[in-house]
């Protein structure tokens, strides 16, 4: 958008995106329709001259046939903490009992490599421009910002020495994931938004459940999963759950997790569709929401 100030202007390896925060799917649809009606592509050459929810883009649910939904319960990197695991498993079971939905197997495709590739492509100047901007404004670089810049620097060495090498790795991964998606036969994927509930401030160090779709340029709509199925995640229920960290990322998540502080917190899920399939994502989100409310 014209008034947006990107701190790392000129870096187009991973394009930033802004989505509406709304109280309902209807409001999201209204926003997309209203925004498109302004024809922003007239003044912004980076935009496709087309309505966001244009049904001519991408695929659409086939009338009379169930929506094929792949449920991603674990991305292969960070197993969801008990509150999220309980919700996503109940979501999977409820979707499986819906006559309008066919739940099909969907396995993650090398999300650990995806995390390395997207972090390597986040900043094309190793984050130096961010540190420079902070210095110009007299602002300190906060610990999590320092952390992600260090992640970028470390993964750049693994993924590719040059910007071109890292973009090639990005494009190859996108092609591989598209083949994996097509082979699975899903229309959309339903997955957790994060591995846990709202994290303690200053501790968020893994957002692979969302950035994987950013890497792939897929469309995603978040829904309040726990609220839709009526799951409150009580302290008693969470205290019965066992979580055994298998790697450093899970150990970090578990270190800052508590059944007491997580009880009753929202747990989000997301409906994901391939690139340029915003209309499919919107319609599928309505179908998923209705099935979870039933």
What are the backbone angles phi and psi of residue 266, rounded to the nearest 5°? -65, 145
Give CA–CA dist 11/6, Å, rounded.
Answer: 9
Residue 77 and residue 214 share a domain: yes
DSSP E strands, 72-218: 101-104, 188-192
Residue 281 and residue 209 share a domain: yes
Taking a C-beta distance cutoff of 8 angstroms, is the pair 219, 273 a contact? yes
Sheet holding 101-104, edge to edge: 101-104, 67-71, 188-192, 269-273, 219-223
Residue 208 and residue 66 share a domain: yes
Query: Which has the closest alpha carbon to 173: 10, 13, 281?
Result: 13
Q: How many helices (H) and strands (E) does the chain have?
A: 12, 5
Beta-bridge partner residues of 272? 189, 220
Is residue 20 classed as helix, strand or coil in its secondary structure? coil
Beta-bridge partner residues of 220? 272
Tell me, yes or no, whether 41 lies in a domain: no
Taking a C-beta distance cutoff of 8 angstroms, is the pair 53, 29 a contact? yes
The predicted pLDDT at position 6 comes to 56
Range of the domain at 163: 109-182
Tell me, yes or no, whether 30 lies in a domain: no
Burial classification of residue 226, based on how many CB atoms lie within 10 Å of its CB (0-12 exposed, 13-18 middle, 19 or more buried): buried
Percent of the chain scoring above 70 in pLDDT:
97
> What does the radius of gyration of the chain's CA atoms come to, in whole angstroms?
20
The predicted pLDDT at position 1 comes to 41
Q: How confident is the model at residue 7 (pLDDT cuts 50, 70, 90)?
A: low
Tell me, yes or no, whether 77 lies in a domain: yes
Which of 158, 182, 206 terminates a domain? The answer is 182
Residue 277 and residue 160 share a domain: no
Domain tally, the chain: 2
Query: Which has the closest alpha carbon to 120: 248, 11, 6, 37?
Result: 11
Tell me, yes or no, whether 40 lies in a domain: no
pLDDT in tens, 170-199: 999 999 999 999 999 999 999 999 999 999
pLDDT in tens, 116-156: 999 999 888 777 888 888 899 999 999 999 999 999 989 99
pLDDT in tens, 252-270: 999 999 999 999 999 999 9
């Amino acid at each position: 958008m014209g008034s947006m100030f990107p701190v790392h202007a000129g870096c187009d390896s991973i394009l930033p995106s802004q989505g509406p925060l709304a109280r309902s799917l209807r409001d999201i649809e209204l926003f997309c329709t209203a925004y498109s009606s302004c024809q922003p592509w007239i003044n912004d050459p980076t935009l496709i001259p087309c309505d966001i929810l244009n049904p001519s883009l991408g695929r659409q649910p086939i009338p009379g046939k169930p929506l094929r939904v792949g449920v991603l319960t674990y991305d292969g990197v960070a197993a969801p903490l008990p509150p999220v695991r309980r919700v996503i498993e109940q979501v999977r079971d409820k979707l499986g009992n819906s006559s309008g939905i066919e739940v099909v197997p969907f396995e993650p495709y090398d999300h650990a490599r995806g995390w390395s590739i997207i972090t390597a492509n986040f900043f094309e100047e190793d984050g130096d421009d961010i540190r420079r901007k902070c210095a110009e404004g007299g602002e300190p670089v906060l610990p999590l910002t320092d952390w992600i810049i260090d992640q970028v620097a470390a993964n750049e060495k693994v993924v590719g020495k040059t910007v071109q090498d890292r973009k090639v790795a990005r494009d190859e991964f996108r092609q591989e994931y598209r083949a994996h998606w097509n082979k699975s036969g899903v229309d959309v994927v339903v997955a957790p938004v994060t591995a846990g509930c709202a994290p303690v401030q200053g501790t968020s160090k893994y957002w692979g459940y969302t950035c994987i779709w950013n890497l792939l340029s897929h469309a995603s709509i978040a829904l309040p999963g726990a609220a839709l199925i009526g799951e409150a995640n009580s302290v008693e229920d969470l205290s019965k759950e066992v979580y055994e960290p298998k790697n450093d990322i899970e150990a970090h998540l578990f270190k800052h997790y508590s059944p007491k502080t997580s009880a009753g917190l929202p747990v989000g899920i997301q409906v994901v569709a391939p690139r340029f399939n915003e209309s499919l994502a919107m319609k599928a989100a309505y179908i998923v929401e209705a099935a979870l409310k039933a």
